[in-house]
Amino acid sequence: MIVFHVEHHVDSLLQVSYNMTMPGTKTIAISNQKGGVGKTTTCTNLGAALGQLGKKTLIIDMDPQANTSSGLRYTEAEDTIYDVLLGNISITHAIRRTEEDSVWLIPSNKSLVGGEMEFRDVDDWHFLLRDALKDVDGYDYILIDTPPSLGTLTIMSLVAANSVIVPVQCEYYALEGLTQLIKTIMLVRNSYNPDLKIEGLLLTMFDRRLNLSKQIEEEVRRHFGRKVFNTVIYRSIRLAEAPSFGLSIVKYAPDSLGAMNYVELAKEIAYEESLR
Ligand SMILES: Nc1ncnc2c1ncn2[C@@H]1O[C@H](COP(=O)(O)OP(=O)(O)OP(=O)(O)O)[C@@H](O)[C@H]1O
Ligand SMILES: [Mg+2]
């Protein structure tokens, strides 16, 4: 059985987020410092699914690995989020069209790796992304993909966001690091962004053949209750293939289970929102 070590004060953070009405743009960071849990897959495919629902969506790649960018056909892009944060170009100049319906992208490239250290020397670096976003409007959603760390780039993303989606991979060490992540979210909330909420924990790579997946799901739901999305993302080879074609799952394999899962997630986010 999997044991949680999440402290009690965390519960307050988890309970507050269901009563938020956000007129205009909603900005959601997708974060977990654990690598390979489905952050990028969620960012791209949730973005594409929201776009398909007619929600105008901007995806921002804040990861120097630039997987979101290359998965949407911007490999080794120039005029990236790094240039925006440095103040070298305007944010509107960095926004690109994608092949997806109603989805735009601000790409990253590997030069952003220097940003992790470099931006720390800038006064008020925490606010760099948030301030840059003041010049962006007209989007229903902004999704920010973050790197597998709790460093500068992730903190900046959390400061700029209204809420956070935490992908949790259905595997044995899934919950490792979750306490640390939640503490970081609370720190950002207490210091820089008092309205930051947890949008939800998202179970990813669920394997219906494995008892372990079911056990993890039960445990996560028991502990985090309604903060866990009803939608679960199943393990699907199509989801892993899509980025190599530069497409989201809803374009690459619209009838696949992966596409269905991400459309369901988009509906859960978009429609529950209107009820909140
Ligand atoms: N539901 C899924 N089914 C099958 N493969 C998946 C699924 N979700 C993600 N993957 C694959 O798992 C790997 C890790 O996923 P992804 O890149 O989205 O994780 P990440 O959290 O962004 O990783 P990193 O921490 O390196 O940024 C990728 O190869 C991806 O294609
Ligand atoms: Mg990633």
pLDDT at 177: 86
Q: How far is the CA of 264 from the CAs of 38, 91, 115, 136, 192, in angstroms?
A: 16, 31, 35, 27, 32
> If you measure from the C-alpha of residue 241 to the centroid of ligand 1, how many angstroms do you get, rounded to a whole number?
11
CA 144 – CA 128 distance, rounded (Å)? 14
pLDDT at 14: 52
Q: Which ligand places an atom closest to the C-alpha of 69?
A: 2
CA 166 – CA 177 distance, rounded (Å)? 11
- Residues whose CB is under 5 A from ligand 2 (ion)? 39-40, 67
Pocket lined around ligand 1, Cβ cut-off 6 Å: 35-41, 63, 65, 67, 148, 204-205, 233, 235-236, 239-240
> If you measure from the C-alpha of residue 70 to the centroid of ligand 1, how many angstroms do you get, rounded to a whole number?
14
Which ligand 1 atom lies nearest to the CA of residue 206? 1
pLDDT at 8: 41
Cβ atoms of residues 19 and 154 within 8 Å: no
> If you measure from the C-alpha of residue 123 to the centroid of ligand 1, how many angstroms do you get, rounded to a whole number?
34
Which ligand 1 atom lies nearest to the CA of residue 67? 17
> If you measure from the C-alpha of residue 260 to the centroid of ligand 2, how many angstroms do you get, rounded to a whole number?
21
| Domain map (residue ranges) of the chain | 24-275
What's the token pair of residue 99? 């092949």
Each residue's pLDDT, cut to its tens digit, for the chain (276 residues) gives 444 444 444 555 554 443 344 469 999 999 999 999 999 999 999 999 999 999 999 999 999 999 999 999 999 999 999 999 999 999 999 999 999 999 999 999 999 999 888 999 999 999 999 999 999 999 999 999 999 999 999 999 999 999 999 999 998 888 888 999 999 999 999 999 999 999 999 999 999 999 999 999 999 999 999 999 999 999 999 999 999 999 999 999 999 999 999 999 999 999 976 554
pLDDT at 19: 35
pLDDT at 23: 60
What is the four-CA torsion angle of 176, 49, 200, 243, rounded to 10 degrees?
Answer: 10
Q: Which ligand places an atom closest to the C-alpha of 37?
A: 1
Atom 15, ligand 1: which residue's CA is nearest?
A: 38
What is the DSSP code string of 52-121?
HTT--EEEEE--TT-HHHHHTT-TT-SS-HHHHHHTSS-HHHH-EE-SSTTEEEE---TTHHHHHHHGGG
Q: Which amino acid is at 250?
A: V
Atom 2, ligand 1: which residue's CA is nearest?
A: 235
Which ligand 1 atom lies nearest to the CA of residue 204? 1
> If you measure from the C-alpha of residue 41 to the centroid of ligand 1, how many angstroms do you get, rounded to a whole number?
6
The hierarchical CATH code for the domain 24-275 is 3.40.50.300
> If you measure from the C-alpha of residue 275 to the centroid of ligand 2, how many angstroms do you get, rounded to a whole number?
31
Cβ atoms of residues 254 and 235 within 8 Å: no
Whether the pTM exceeds 0.85: the reply is: yes
CA 192 – CA 155 distance, rounded (Å)? 10
**Per DSSP, what are the bridge partners of residue 58?**
104, 142
Handedness of CA 138, 231, 224, 46 (dihedral sign): negative
Sheet of 197-206, strand order: 96-97, 103-106, 57-61, 141-145, 26-30, 163-169, 197-206, 228-234
pLDDT at 173: 85
Look at the chain and count its residues: 276
SS3 content of the chain, % helix, strand, coil (to 5): 45, 15, 35
